[in-house]
Chains A and B, each alone.
Chain A
Amino acid sequence: MSRPGIRRIVVIAVVLLGLCGIAFAAIAYRPAIARVTRPDPRQFDPALVARGANLARLGNCVSCHQAAGGRPYAGGYPIKTPFGTIYGSNITPDAATGIGSWSPAAFRRAMREGVARDGSHLYPAFPYTHYASVADGDVDALYAFLMTRPAVRAVPPANRMIPPLGFRPLLAGWKLLFFDPQPVVADPRQSAAWNRGRYIGETLAHCTACHSPRGLLQQEKRGDQAYDGGWSGGWYAPPINARSPAVRAWTVERLDAYFRTGLSTAHAAAAGPMGPVTYNLARAAPADVRAMATYYAWQMRAAPAARAEPRLPDRRALARQRHPEGARLYDGACAVCHEPGAAMMVAGRPALPLGTPLHEANPRDTIQVILKGLKPPVAPRGPYMPAFADALDDRQVAEIVAYLQVRRGTGPAWPDLEKDVAAARKEGE
């Protein structure tokens, strides 16, 4: 080709790229919304604030917006993603470091569109993909609630993203691909509680954020694969639909008790990230929590345990024969709480095999609860388990898990346990 021809192609390519760039910038661009003076907390109707308080509990907002040892909503909590660590922002009404200068419109835009007051895109670690479907009145209630919290001056640590993902305008592209909010429309064939539960679960409580698989770019798979299980903070969030591996039915009663108290006596205590979830649900309106229980019991109505609760095996001799070291470790470290005759068992706490972790597709939750233990989920008193991460090495944890699986498990085999333990340690850091 002639040189002018090549030059023309190059010019066209550059112009096209430039036009794409401009088009992208146009898509990505969001104007800043002007700062406002921090609203006087007294101007908000107490009933609206109370409604917002309830919604914040249902949404579990404080879990991502409070650092260990920090003040509520003042941010600083690290959320680990495959793309880096994002720190929850300060959403107290501090004008300088929080959202004190955000107008209601700015807040609404953040919730609906994932855009901050200054026009920057927010990482979907903040689940606006769910909040986009929160009703207007509820968004306003949340605004009223947040604006009446104590203002805390606190700057969270800077996010540590893998380059170039620190470049926020890229998120516009992500949104183009994956952000398609749908309203939650009531189903007239279902009860009011079911509909309320679905609304809360799909929007504020954003349950699929943990309980659904994600694609390569961390987009939730909410279609056919909704509630097929997912990952959060190094723990596995098992399926909570027809694929639920639970060996006891999740009835409305049991789910309600689990949400409100952090314990289902037919299953287990809330562990890992479910701890803070139940902490907040325990403080939410009981009718709303029951509604969530109604909806998710429905989601799991076709799970195997809903049809028949199996007799659980106790292959004691086989497990001891196959994993004698695991048996010895269990005897010395675990039996004191988990075997019949232990005080908590006498008091009616659920036996180990009732809990879902031993029956899941992977050993992650069994491993994590051994490594990290369990804190009483909803109150200072409640189920407690010490952490064994420092006492036992990877091989020893694997041995215990292997022993337990042979003795009590009903799910698929877990072949590479020592590697799984190492991975769990790393991801749970």
Chain B
Amino acid sequence: MSGQASRRDILGGLLVAFALAPTAALAQTGGGEGSGGPPTVAPDLPGTLAKFPDLDAWIRIGADGRVTVFTGKVELGTGVKTAMAQLAADELDVAIGRVDLITADTALTPNEGVTAGSQTLEQSGTAIANAAACVRLLLAETAAARWGVAATTLFTRDGVVLDGQGRRASYAELAASTSLAVRARADVPRKPVAARRLIGRPVPRVDLPAKLTGLPSYVQDMRLPDMVHARVLRGPSSGTRLTPDLAALRRQPGVARVVDVGRFAAIVGPREWPLEQALRVANQGAWTRDAAVPALPPMPAGLLEMRRESTVIDTRRDAAAAPGVRRLSARYDRPYLMHGAIGPSCAVALMAEGQLTVWTHSQGVEPLRTAIAELVAMPADRVRCVHREGAGCYGHNGADDVAGDAALVACAMPGVPVRLQWSREQEHGWEPLGPAMLAQIDATLDASGRIVDWRHQVWSNTHSTRPVAAGDLLAGVEVVPPFVPTPPKPIPQPNGGGDRNAIPLYRFANQSIVSHFLPDMPVRVSALRGLGAHLNIFALESAMDELAAAAGRDPVAFRLAHLDDPRAADVIRRAAARFGWSRYRPRPNRGRGFAFARYKNHGAYCAVALDVERIPDEGRLIVHRAVVAVDSGEAVNPDGIRNQVEGGVLQSLSWTAYEAAGHDGTRRTDYDWSGYPILRFADVPHSVVVEVIDRPGTPFLGTGECAQGPTAAALANALAAATGVRTRSMPLAGGLATRS
């Protein structure tokens, strides 16, 4: 038998049991952000197969041998399109170049809710891998029946089933007589690790050649025949209302028409530049503070005064624990943060032949479709939302709202494709922000330096106002009669919103974790990468360092002493070793900091070590080195993991050290990048190293958000070591940077 390494026995190989209980039970649509999603109908099947068990929902094989794979998730720049193509291609045994991945489209793909919460591989990747393995088996069984042999005697290579004695049949051929409208089987093994060609390899991103050479790749690049451009008119920020002079705008050159419905207004024309100029004219109109928006109290202290609904989300009592002798009582906080996508939100919409199609970079085309259908008063099955990539969004930004805006305009102009682009100022002014948060930690050490009591309280707004109905879109509250926004709700554990990662992974004898949910939103907020994990891990891991210092123990050893989870211990040891933790020499104004978290306590494990210098007199921070160890379970694309983690580290450094969205009581004050500076090249670390611990055969663990929390705390810990002063309020390099 030739090509041993590249072929594969049908049933030989490891039968990999998917650990269903954690992921399936935990799978809330989009990590609990957004609508409930479709019901589980096949609980024995892994990933989203449990909701869509038929194979042809996921995989089709064309007459030309090309394989179309459907996913209800989307590519946000995380590289999942490549990872899922790797899974499909490897499990199916076809060249990756023959796989076409169709991402979320309400007309074509399974409803996997929102691409959020770092669940893409856990949910969709798992489903696709298993579905591909099932399809491969079915094709082999078709050949087996045709040749009168047992399927176990056949093997596959590069899209062909072979019997090893000269008979061969291509998948294209076999697919013609293989129905994929059948239920997946839970017992089909995945490809043995040793035989994998793609999974576990740093396969180059399939989408980069086009993006790096200028081929149209983003929704912003779409140009349809007879397409018109549009700009929406709004006040300078969320919480304001503009009164534009529509009559004057209609007379502006380049404005072909004005679409206005109630308070919603947009200008439409054939070319962008005249619309930009007209937008400026519109913005000279009077604007007022929206009286319906509650007043913003001084932050972060104001969070403590707001109306709240408190829940104990975890509690443990061990009366036999040793008495506490030293106590830490500390308050940690962060301000409102922007998503700050480099490309302001954009959508294209076309109302034609009774069907409304919206091309959108929303993370959730399914709930968006529901909201838009309600907005334009059309049946949901006449509205189609198709995902097209936008710039990285890092959560719920303006993507859904602009889709609603475009839909309204398109409905006013049937037959004409409409491209509506938000301005930079509109993105800064109207995108939902990551909520300001505050955590209070009270912890006690016993005489041996062990933590015996741990109380964590966190105050936060909801971390999801993702649209599920028309009232959740900006246009929805502007039309007449206005729709009503869905009342905000907390996202329940085990995913959590403001309380995400508030429950420690450490083993403490006594603990009490309380989530104070604040329903009133003086500032428009929603999901930002990591949700509550950024602040909660900042607090938790800062407190761990403060306690370690009080106990006179090394911060890494202190953490290990309180952990049961061997994989957690592994990432901690790996990061510390690679960093050279035990060899580090302290220097003036320079220090090291360490932090660890397991995202959501069921996602990826991530440990971060930083070497940071603070230049006195300038307050400038130099991150000399960042060393990270991450365990994402089975690594489909280790370079994709490294890329996401590097990116998460840099983004979190920017958030934690520098960022704070400003508000003057009437409006947001940061209308462009000059008002909301983010990390630039001069301040980027000198070196970032990410070590990936690959555990093939174990479940995929959500990785995209795992670095936000540990990086924030590692920075706080490094600065405390460098300066001798502990800062518990973000932004850490604040001072003049945060003065309005």
Contacts and interface: CB of A to CB of B under 8 A. Distances in A.
A53 B617 CA distance: 9
Interface residues of A, number: 29
Contact of B675 (A53, A62, A282, A381): A381
A149 B276 contact: no
Contacts of A341: 279-284
A144 to B, nearest CB: 14
B736 interface: yes
Contact of B618 (A72, A336, A343, A381): A72
Interface stretch (B186-194, B197-205, B540-548, B666-674): B666-674
B359 interface: no
A342 interface: yes
B670 A381 contact: yes
Contact of B674 (A282, A339, A381): A381
A378 interface: yes
B442 interface: no
A380 B672 contact: no
B299 interface: no
A335 interface: yes
Among the interface residues A283, A342, A381, which one has the most CB atoms of the partner chain B within 10 A? A381
Interface of A: 53, 62, 69, 71-73, 149-150, 282-283, 331, 335-336, 339-344, 346-347, 376, 378-384
For B236, B658, B672, which residue has the most chain A Cβ atoms within 10 angstroms? B672
Contacts of B283: 341-343, 346
Contacts of A380: 658, 677, 737
Complex A-B, nearest 5 residue pairs according to Cβ-Cβ distance, in ascending order: A384-B674, A341-B280, A343-B425, A341-B283, A343-B671
A62 B682 CA distance: 19
B588 interface: yes
A150 B236 contact: no
Nearest to B276: A336
A381 B617 CA distance: 18
14 contacts: A150-B616, A336-B276, A341-B281, A341-B282, A342-B280, A342-B283, A343-B236, A343-B283, A343-B671, A347-B671, A380-B737, A381-B670, A381-B737, A384-B673
Nearest to B662: A381
B676 interface: yes
A89 to B, nearest CB: 17
Nearest to B285: A341
Contact of A347 (B279, B617, B669): B669
Contacts of B21: none
Nearest to B673: A384
Contacts of B676: 381
Contacts of B674: 376, 381-384
B615 A72 contact: yes
The main secondary structure of chain A at its interface with chain B is loop
Interface of B: 236, 276-277, 279-284, 287, 425, 588-589, 615-618, 658, 669-677, 682, 736-737, 739
Given A69-B682, A379-B736, 7 more contacts: A150-B588, A336-B276, A342-B283, A343-B425, A346-B236, A346-B284, A381-B676
B739 A379 contact: yes
A339 B280 contact: yes
Contacts of B618: 72
A240 B674 CA distance: 29
Contacts of A376: 674, 677
Contacts of A381: 670, 674-677, 737
A382 B739 CA distance: 10
Nearest to A41: B588
Contacts of A71: 615
Interface centre among B277, B674, B676 (most CB of A within 10 A): B674
A150 B671 contact: no
A150 B425 CA distance: 42
A380 B739 CA distance: 10
B179 to A, nearest CB: 58
Contacts of B737: 379-381
Nearest to A56: B617
A336 B280 contact: yes
Most B CB within 10 A of own CB, among A150, A331, A343: A343
A344 B671 contact: yes
Nearest to A72: B617
Contacts of A69: 682
Contacts of B287: 346
A278 B616 CA distance: 18
Nearest to A344: B671
Contacts of B236: 343, 346-347
A336 B672 CA distance: 13
A246 B459 CA distance: 50
Nearest to B736: A379
Nearest to A148: B616
A62 B280 contact: no
A378 B669 contact: no
A330 to B, nearest CB: 12
A415 to B, nearest CB: 32
A94 B617 CA distance: 17
B230 to A, nearest CB: 18
Nearest to A57: B617
A99 to B, nearest CB: 16
A4 to B, nearest CB: 70
A111 to B, nearest CB: 20
A150 B618 CA distance: 12
A312 B236 CA distance: 27
A73 B287 CA distance: 48
Nearest to B672: A343
A384 B670 CA distance: 12
A282 B736 contact: yes
Nearest to B589: A150
A335 B677 contact: no
A383 B675 CA distance: 8
Nearest to A378: B736
B231 to A, nearest CB: 12
Contacts of B671: 343-344, 346-347
Contacts of A335: 277, 280
Nearest to A384: B674
